Amino acid sequence: MQALFNDLVGIVGETGVLREASDMAPYVADVRGFYQGNAQYVVRPRSTDEVAAVVALCVERSVPVQAQGGNTSLCGGSVPFADARGVILSLSRMRRIREIDAANHSMTVEAGCVLAEVQRAAIEADRFYPVSLGAEGSCQIGGNIATNAGGTGVLRYGNTRENILGLEVVLPNASVWNGLRGLRKDNTGFDLKHLFIGSEGLLGIITAATLRLHPLNTRHIAAWLAPVSIEAAVELLGLFQSSLGPQLTAFEVLNSAQLQKVLKHMPDRRSPLDPAHPWHILTELGCTTDEAGLQANLEALLQKAMSSGLLTDAAVASNETQRAAMWNIRHSVTDAIKAAGRGIAHDIAVPVSKIPEFVRRVTPVLEQRFAAIQIVIVGHLGDGNLHFIPLFDFDVWETFPDPQAVIDEVHRLTYGIAMELGGTFSAEHGIGRYLVAEMRQYKSGVELSLMRSIKDALDPRGLFNPQKMIPE
């Protein structure tokens, strides 16, 4: 063990290796406090060459390598198991913005750059990097790519995958693949970057990326809407999409239970509308020119929605402070749920048209099975993606003799209906260790065996992020 420590220090320097339990604590537990892992060391290289040298050393000594970015994974993907066999390879010291090519609408950044820093750097260059999520103040670009993160901008700009032009990756054999190309067109064989996007640290360590930038929207309007039902919310989405086209940049949904949890546990948040309305939508419009028409378009649309009975009420943010306050509510949901009780998270997606059916079918099934269950829903309606979180008060949770059996049953009932509707059991958070059993249950044998073949080809000794994502 001491030999490994000395050799790691030889590569990354003394400050680059953590071994005290108190120093390693933030790296070995997940953000929600569901998983407690352990590791021999946390290693923090400063360059691609150092990452490659650490990988070479670990592979030579058969030491598992757990890649870690901002450690905001919601599926236990970023923390190792408790056996302390491996090392955590943290990208947090690789934070350089290598290049911004404004004319090419691209920027090349190191994997440890925090998402919010990247967004700011793009804005300073009069460009826009559109991936945005509640954890953007701490999640890293490498982690976003490894999980193909979604977030609130997918409706207009796509997932992380659609915003990546090139990658640099250290492979499990310690070679470095430099695929940092800023091209929109390159039909020269397999497009290998897609192999690593969404691979959750199983196939290689992403050390840098060339990101696709967009024109910067200079005008934004946010509005908070209360549709009469979930069916009306979906109809409203269609109306907004056909009337506003690319001006529509977000269409987020919360049910009343979710909003009330935010208001209760974050007392400085104020609901723009009566929180008792069953459903709430946060929508945003954006455009690159200061079109006076944007506000008028929105108001005309809201009028139309009111008179056709889709909307009960609406509030349009009249300044930046109000707009930020609306987004603060949306971005507080994870903390509110953590404070409110034991939530059983599901990150499902179904075709947008099936969202009402999903909600109408699954809610009574769960309510009949568990008397004290509360159905908390928040999600990216425009993407057909709901974070469906049945929740129990902590005192109720403690009365369950076998909590894991409750989790398993809620999962089975919820995922079963999502899958019947042509959906998925993980829309944007990935698999990690949380959903390995569901991979076995719902993925076809052909898909799983393809995944295993790719994993075995790149990482034959199974040292990169072992026991995650692909069932053994």
Ligand X SMILES: Cc1cc2nc3c(=O)[nH]c(=O)nc-3n(C[C@H](O)[C@H](O)[C@H](O)COP(=O)(O)OP(=O)(O)OC[C@H]3O[C@@H](n4cnc5c(N)ncnc54)[C@H](O)[C@@H]3O)c2cc1C
Q: Which is nearer to ligand X, 148 or 256 (CB)?
A: 148
Q: How far is the CB of 91 from ligand X (least distance, A)?
A: 5
Q: Which of 92, 140, 249, 271 binds ligand X (CB under 6 A)?
A: 140
Q: How far apart are CA 66 and CA 89, in angstroms?
A: 6
Q: How far apart are CA 389 and CA 411, in angstroms?
A: 10
Q: Which is nearer to ligand X, 314 or 435 (CB)?
A: 435
Q: Which of 429, 434, 436, 463 binds ligand X (CB under 6 A)?
A: 429
Binding mask 105-124 for ligand X (x = CB under 6 A): ------x-------------
Helix 355-369 with 230-244: angle, nearest 10 deg: 160
Q: How far apart are CA 126 and CA 115, in angstroms?
A: 17
Beta carbons of 29 and 36 less than 8 angstroms apart = yes
* Token couple for 34: 């569901």
For 208, list phi and psi in degrees, rounded to 5. -160, 165
Beta carbons of 182 and 101 less than 8 angstroms apart = yes
Q: Which of 45, 64, 70, 153 binds ligand X (CB under 6 A)?
A: 70
Residue 436: its H or E element? helix 436-442
Q: How far apart are CA 110 and CA 91, in angstroms?
A: 9
Q: How far is the CB of 308 from ligand X (least distance, A)?
A: 31
Q: How far is the CB of 114 from ligand X (least distance, A)?
A: 8
For 342, list phi and psi in degrees, rounded to 5. -95, 100
Q: Which is nearer to ligand X, 78 or 106 (CB)?
A: 78
Q: Which of residues 165-204 bind ligand X (CB under 6 A)?
A: 200-201
Fill in the DSSP letter of residue 116.
H
**What's the CA angle centered on 90, arms 63 and 48, to 5 degrees?**
90
Q: Which of 108, 258, 334, 374 binds ligand X (CB under 6 A)?
A: 334
Q: Which is nearer to ligand X, 163 or 334 (CB)?
A: 334
Q: Which is nearer to ligand X, 110 or 235 (CB)?
A: 110
Q: Which of 53, 65, 67, 211 binds ligand X (CB under 6 A)?
A: 67
Interaction of residue 150 with ligand X, rule CB under 6 A: yes
Interaction of residue 40 with ligand X, rule CB under 6 A: no
Q: Which is nearer to ligand X, 19 or 161 (CB)?
A: 161
* Cα separations in angstroms, 443 against 150, 419, 433: 21, 11, 16
Contacts to ligand X by CB under 6 A: 31, 67-74, 77-78, 91, 111, 133-135, 139-140, 142-144, 146-147, 149-151, 200-201, 205-206, 334, 428-429, 432, 465
